[in-house]
Amino acid sequence: MNQHVPIMGIPFPKLTMEQSVELLQDVIDQKEQRLFHVVTGNPEIVMSCQKDAQLRQIVDEAGLVTADGIGIVMVSRVRGGSLPERVTGCDLLFKLLEEGDRKGWSFYFLGADEETSRQAVINIGKQYPGVAIRGRHHGFFTPEDEPRIVQEIADAAPDFLIVALGAPRAEKWIHSHKDKLHAKIAIGVGGSLDIIGGKVKRAPAAWQRLNLEWLYRLISQPSRWRRQLILPRFAVKAVFFRERSRSV
């Protein structure tokens, strides 16, 4: 049985949230020195990969690409591949913090504005006291600051480097520094620290269950509507995309 569903050429593994967390647990347990890059594959990333060869290569090299959004899952179903469920960056981060709380996993948080970054780390410390917070840095740094931040992360050597710089900047940043970061796993998580830090409200649980998180975002952050125009375009393109028959 094929374990991946290709969507516009990107192979998405058929993994539930629980299986994704188990996979990351295995990565932490291994002695592997290379950084394991998790890309949360949302429609914007999939669409950008069609034009941006560098991003496409980063996604191809990633250890895990998760189905970030109901759009990805629905397209997989229409095409008969059936990804089991959404594994969004934000949900994955919450699961990893829960698991990390029990297992003492260590984290470094990069991204968001200074106040949000500070508040997010305070909130995480309160809610997940078993998590080892190895450091944090806001995401509005200059190129001159980068070597110092990379060194700070390398010295912290966390299990998880959480990068909230927006997509695809986070993916590119992780990839360009991957040999120097000394983190076991790095994940770009979009605006998740804004939610944890209380700057942005997440959709209520009922909306999430109904797969209407995108609609809540559209209503609560109307300035994003331009970005969300990509969703219907993605749906049409992805449903009719001619996947190359390659075994993945």
Q: Which residues bind ligand UDP (CB under 6 A)?
A: 111-113, 139-140, 164-167, 190-191, 193-194
Please state the closest distance from residue 240 (CB atom) to ligand UDP, in A.
25
Please state the closest distance from residue 222 (CB atom) to ligand UDP, in A.
14
- What is the 3-state secondary structure of 148-180? HHHHHHHHHCCCEEEEECCCCHHHHHHHHHCCC
Supply 246's token pair.
């390659």
Please state the closest distance from residue 195 (CB atom) to ligand UDP, in A.
9
Nearest residue (CB) to ligand UDP, 11 versus 139: 139
Please state the closest distance from residue 30 (CB atom) to ligand UDP, in A.
28
Asked whether 24 and 40 are in contact (CB, 8 A), the reply is no
Angle, CA 80 vertex, CA 14 and CA 227 arms, to 5°: 75
Nearest residue (CB) to ligand UDP, 5 versus 196: 196
Nearest residue (CB) to ligand UDP, 33 versus 223: 223
Nearest residue (CB) to ligand UDP, 159 versus 194: 194
Please state the closest distance from residue 219 (CB atom) to ligand UDP, in A.
15
Residue nearest to ligand UDP (CB): 139
- What is the 3-state secondary structure of 181-225? CCCCEEEECCCHHHHHCCCCCCCCHHHHHCCCHHHHHHHHCHHHH
Nearest residue (CB) to ligand UDP, 40 versus 76: 40
Separation CA 36–CA 223 (nearest Å): 34
Q: Rg for the chain (alpha carbons), in Å?
A: 17
Please state the closest distance from residue 191 (CB atom) to ligand UDP, in A.
3
Nearest residue (CB) to ligand UDP, 169 versus 180: 169
Angle, CA 140 vertex, CA 161 and CA 40 arms, to 5°: 40
Separation CA 47–CA 60 (nearest Å): 14
Asked whether 182 and 210 are in contact (CB, 8 A), the reply is no
